């Protein structure tokens, strides 16, 4: 290998690292911690934590109870519920 090829591969590796850092910084990461009490007097608490460097605005959220649905491929945890 001559110096030109070595320089090319070093610059390619450094460019790939820079691209990985750029994409990683733009990714949004959010965690949600729920404290559901079931009491109207105490209330429920949702703690939303933005773990990314970018600012995050949550304009609307709704806490809703939904009926559990079976997956089309079946439920591996509860095989007696599988309905095809």
Tokens of 26: 């733009």
Q: Are strands 30-35 and 45-50 parallel, antiparallel or unpaired?
A: antiparallel
Which of 28, 24, 26, 27 has its CA nearest to residue 16? 24
At residue 15 the predicted structure's pLDDT band, cuts being 50, 70 and 90, is very high
pLDDT tens column, 32-82? 888 888 888 888 888 888 888 878 888 887 777 766 665 555 555 555 554
Contact (CB, 8 A) for 49 and 34: no
- pLDDT for residue 79: 53
Residue in this structure with the two tokens 């939904």, named with its chain if needed:
66
Count of helix runs (H) and strand runs (E) in the chain:
1, 2
Domain boundaries, the chain: 3-63
């Amino acid at each position: 290998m001559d110096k030109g090829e070595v320089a090319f591969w070093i610059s390619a590796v450094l460019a790939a690292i820079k691209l990985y850092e750029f994409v990683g910084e733009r990714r949004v990461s959010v965690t949600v911690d729920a404290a559901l009490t079931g009491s109207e007097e105490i209330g429920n608490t949702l703690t939303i934590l933005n773990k990314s460097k970018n600012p995050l605005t949550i304009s609307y959220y709704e806490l809703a109870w939904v009926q559990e649905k079976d997956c089309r491929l079946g439920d591996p945890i509860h095989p007696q519920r599988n309905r095809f």
